[in-house]
Amino acid sequence: MPRTTPRRTWTIGTIANGGQAVLTVVARARKTGDRQNTAVVSSKTGDPDMTNNTASIKPNIVGLSLAKSVETFSDPVNGTTNPKAIPGAVMLYRVTVSNATDGAVDADTIEVSDVLPGQVMAFVSSGSVTITQGSIPGGLTVSETDIFWTTQPGGGAPHTYTPKPDQSGYDPAITGIRIRTRGSMAAGTADNPSTSTLTFRVRIR
C-alpha cells in the first residue's frame, strides 16, 4: 500500500469475551521501498496489556530472472585448445538464476527446465549438472536425485525418463531436462543480484 495512503479506521463494534473479528486488507506490494503494513487496535474499554496491540507484516517480493549461455569446451580435432562447434564437440550450457530484489525465495521452490536442440546429446552420467555461486551467492544447490529427463517431442513434460548412457555417458534419446534446486535463494538488489549458475554438457551429433 503506498505510503501516501491515509490511515484507515475499522470500527468493529462489540466483541464477546474470547471472540475475534477478522479484517482482510488487499494491497499491491511495491517491488522496492517500504512495504510494511502495520495495524493498531484500541478500545474505549480499558486494556490492562497494551503491549500486544500492534502487529506488522512485510510482504516478501522476489525478482527472478534467467540467462543462458553456451561455450564450446572441446572438439575431436583440437581438444580443448581453441575448440570449434563441430560434430563430436562438447558444449557447456550455463543457466544463471538471478534474484534482484530484497526478498529471499522460499526454499526448494525454484525449478529450471530446458529443451535441448535436436543436434545434441545430453551427458547423463554422474556430475551431469553442477552449480556455482556468483559474487553475491544465490545459495541454491542441486543433487543427482533432483535432475529429471524427458524424451517427449519438444522436450516437454513428463520428465520421467530413466537415462541410458552410452560408453561416453551421453544419451541420444533425451530431448529435455528439468532441474529442481534446493535451498532458499538469497536476496539481492537491482545493481547486485544474487546468482546461482547451473552448468550441464551436451555433445554435438
pLDDT in tens, the chain (205 residues): 455 566 778 788 788 888 888 878 777 766 666 667 788 888 877 778 888 888 887 776 778 999 999 999 999 999 999 999 999 999 999 999 999 988 899 999 999 999 999 999 999 999 999 999 999 999 999 999 999 999 999 999 999 999 999 999 999 999 999 999 999 999 999 999 999 999 999 999 9
Is residue 162 domain-resident?
Answer: yes
Residue 31's pLDDT is: 60
Query: Total domain count for the chain?
Result: 1
Strand pairing report for 194-204 and 90-99? antiparallel
Q: DSSP string covering the chain, please?
A: --TTSPPP--------TT---------PPPSSS---EEEE---SS--S--TTSEEEE------EEEEEEEEEEEBTTTBTSS----TT-EEEEEEEEEE-SSSPPPTT--EEEEEPPTTEEEE-STTSEEEEE-SSB---B--GGGEEEE-SGGG-S---BPP---TTSEETT--EEEEE-BSPPPP--SSS-EEEEEEEEEEE-
Residue 32's pLDDT is: 62
Is residue 37 domain-resident?
Answer: no
CATH of the domain at 143: 2.60.40
Residue type, 7: R
C-alpha closest to that of 117 among 91, 155, 82: 155
Is residue 182 domain-resident?
Answer: yes
Residue 141's pLDDT is: 98
CA atoms within 13 A on the CB side of 63: 15
Is residue 36 domain-resident?
Answer: no
Its pTM stands at: 0.76
Is residue 86 domain-resident?
Answer: yes
Domain that holds residue 107: 64-204
Is residue 119 domain-resident?
Answer: yes
Is residue 7 domain-resident?
Answer: no
Is residue 12 domain-resident?
Answer: no
C-alpha closest to that of 178 among 203, 196, 151: 151
